[in-house]
Amino acid sequence: MSNLFVELAEKQNAGSGVTNPNRAARNGPRASILDTIGGTPVVRLNNIGPDHVALFAKLEAFNPLGSVKDRLALAVIEDAERSGALKPGQTVIEATSGNTGIGLAMVCAQKGYPLVIVMAENFSLERRKLLRFLGAKVILTPASERGTGMFRTAERLAEARGWFFCRQFENEANAEFHAQTTAQEILGDFEEIGLDYWVTGVGTGGTLNGVAGQLREHSPDTRIVVAEPDNAQLLASGVPQLRRPDGAAARSHPNARAHPVQGWTPDFISKLAGDVQDAGRIDIFQPVPGADALRVAQELARREGVFCGISGGATVAAAIALAEGAPEGSTILAMVPDTGERYLSTPLFDHIKVEMDEEEAEIARSARAQAPVTPPASTRNEPAPPVSEEMLDFVRAVIDDANDPVVMFGFEWCEFCWAVRRLLDAAGVPFRSIDVDSAEYRQEDRGGEVLRALFSHTGMRTVPQVFIGGTLVGGADEVLAAADDGTLAQRLTQLTPPIDFRPVANPMDYLPKWVRRPARAGV
């Protein structure tokens, strides 16, 4: 393999890989977002891992919703459509740590199926928000009940309501789709240079099951490596999983433990993964410490420009550990299942600060120390346009309008204006918003005239400016503080007729997240 890298470059330049079966050609417009699933790239990792091997990563974040589970979602839904198990308009339900749910949300949105996702409460907040953003309903189960609790809740809901339950952990369509797509892409990419080791973690077992079978048949010299958390080695333990007659796990595996690798190793061995083990297709078990998973995910970002989640870091960490003892010139491929953006609230990002560190602050100080830029001559000492008496009358009329006693002057997309809007909406307070930068006020600088009249009237030169019953309350800070101490509610109840202020928890939290807030008393 002395010409390995030259051969690889030529191979990549020529183009390779097999895409989804029965899908439109990859060139030209696609029929829908679903036709972009699959065909993900394999890239060489040049800056981490030992030099005597060629280490590669298959980047499943290139799927449209950012993870390998997009494949599963499409496979399960279309298989159910073909079999008649899923009827038009029927609700789909699944138990998932997040990525499967996000993939299902995309597929169900495109195809018009309502979706309910059951998820343990300890999975990242980003996943919940993404699911709801895509139109899914998210039902949370106690973290103490782990994966089996999610599964049982989804199963009961499906039975009680007649919903289609995807059963990703047992559904053969999951594995079959990986056999037809993921495995064929890998075989195509490594057809000429060969593949010595294929490394994957295990969640549903679909990737492992589908790819391992194809590698055994078409690339029998490739060794199949399963990575598991070092404190939760289920497959490697050799302890069998107790199952129900339908193949689903009957209870948690005795080796199950909490670990940081979301999406890997639920508290049971899925049927799809168990079938691979029973067939003797796993050659090596590689344990991964949780700290290594986090560290390698961070190194992939900083040294390779590969942005992935904890599971991707864990798989590459397993591949690096394997590589240390691999023969010279070995090729190793690690599956990198998803993107890092859905881990912002997890320990993966604990070391990332919001504020500038000292080095960044010094750079900022050096910029401020530079000589000020002299404005163009045409803009120096130009008198401000006069305030229109007509616009002053308009501003006064808006402020004193008894039909709209709560009014805000602001910008349409200002973060501080949005803080006030969100607070008033949450409190059930009707209000009028004069957005001086909106299309309504853009013509002939009408918005600028309103601002100049407002500033002249109040003496304040900032927005938003909020008025209640003709009296200025202030800007965003003042309004939120008044909501916090109860004076805003008092002002509203003194109106005729009075306006009720529905209590809002922590009003100051509506300010933009980058604003430094004083600590609350007792907090």
Please identify every residue annotated as catalytic.
69, 311
Q: Collapsing DSSP states into helix, strand and coil, what is residue 19?
A: coil
- In angstroms, the CA 57 to CA 31 distance is 29
- In angstroms, the CA 168 to CA 360 distance is 46
- In angstroms, the CA 77 to CA 32 distance is 15
- In angstroms, the CA 116 to CA 137 distance is 5
The pair of structure tokens assigned to 64 is 């449209």
Give which of 247, 256, 257, 280 is closest to 167, Cα–Cα.
247
Strand partners, 42: 58
Angle between helix axes 415-426 and 476-485 (nearest 10 degrees) is: 30
What angle (nearest 5°) sits at the alpha carbon of residue 29, between those of residues 25 and 34? 70
- In angstroms, the CA 330 to CA 442 distance is 64
- In angstroms, the CA 125 to CA 346 distance is 9
* Contacts by residues 472-480 (CB-CB < 8 Å, ≥ 24 positions apart): 475/416, 476/416, 476/417, 476/419, 476/420, 476/511, 477/511, 479/420, 479/423, 480/419, 480/420, 480/423, 480/507, 480/508, 480/510, 480/511
CB 248, CB 270: distance < 8 Å: no
The pair of structure tokens assigned to 421 is 């809007």
